[in-house]
Amino acid sequence: MDRILVVGSGDVARRAIPWLARRARVYALVRSPDQKAALRALGAIPIVGDLDRPESLRRIAGLADRVLHCAPPPASGDDDPRTRHLLAALRRRSLARALVYIGTTGVYGDCRGDIVGESRPLRPANARARRRLAAERQLRRFGRSGCRVSILRAPGIYAASRLSLARLERCDPVLRPEDDVFTNHIHADDLARLCCAALYRGRANRAYNASDDSWMMMGDYFDLMADEFGLSRPPRLARADAAGRLSPMTLSFMSESRRLDNRRLKRELKVRLRYPDVADGLAAARRELRRRSPDSQESSAHAGA
């Protein structure tokens, strides 16, 4: 039986674990013992360890045949020491056969609305994306040592528990159409399925745009969400007026425009997306929230690219 190590047991990883656990022995690296019961319920064997403390990672050396790396870099700097610590631990014994990393399409930087394939030069425009690029470079070097490394570059990840409803309720503005940018999205369930497929089908040192089929202007995305959930559409404003109204992170998303080409993903990973269009995914999210509670409207910050 295959042994799979999941590193970074957040939302997407927890969506992938049940599928993997039916086919393999799954280990999940967690920082806190408090998370162990929830991961056992999903079918994983929890291992307490912290990517910020390399001495805590000894148990994962040689443990798994395949590794799913979902852990983000630290919140500051231009490097990713967490990935470095993980790879050092994996090198101590026999290498895993395959490793899949969830990165970000932010590594492309601003593409001025161009259609972007995986071979486009990487020009990250902020420290958050530079940390992700640092992780990619470390992983590609690691992949030359015999482990088959695949990188899933994810754009804005959404699901019922990952929506920006609070932003709509606050009436936060978006850009007017003439100043707006193209955004791309992937439903968290589809990203989890892509992770599982890449562990077995991903090609060596290969990057994939892990996005759905829809390209949307950012303002249109928020209009669609507002309409789906019966909220007011956000006000529009000129880019010149945005700096005083929005957070630096939101402004950074509004400064990059690209349309992702996902043909490589479909051709090589052979996954049929459950939500190929963001409209389908938002409708499913609304139904899910309604099933949980008629009055429930969970929200989180928009993670976009």
SS (H, E, C) 244-299: CCCCHHHHHHCCCCCEECCHHHHHHHCCCCCCCCHHHHHHHHHHHHHHHCCCCCCC
For the stretch 271-296, pLDDT in tens is 999 999 999 999 999 999 999 875 54
Token output for 265? 């993903």
Is there a contact between 6 and 70 (Cβ–Cβ < 8 Å)? yes
What's residue 301's pLDDT? 36
Enter the DSSP assignment of 302: -
Domains of the chain with CATH codes:
3-160+185-212+261-275 (3.40.50.720)
* DSSP, residue by residue, 20-77: HHTTSEEEEEES-GGGHHHHHHHT-EEEE--TT-GGGGGGGTT--SEEEE-PPPPSSS
How many whole angstroms separate alpha carbon 283 and alpha carbon 228? 7
Report the DSSP beta bridge partners of residue 157: 186
Smallest CA-to-CA distance from 122 within 151, 86, 101 is with 151
Q: Rounded to two decimals, what is the model's pTM? A: 0.94
How many whole angstroms separate alpha carbon 98 and alpha carbon 136? 15
Is there a contact between 226 and 234 (Cβ–Cβ < 8 Å)? yes
For the stretch 216-245, pLDDT in tens is 999 999 999 999 999 999 999 999 998 888
How many whole angstroms separate alpha carbon 94 and alpha carbon 88? 12
For the stretch 54-94, pLDDT in tens is 999 999 999 999 999 999 999 999 999 999 999 999 999 88
For the stretch 190-209, pLDDT in tens is 999 999 999 999 999 999 99
Token output for 77? 């700097």
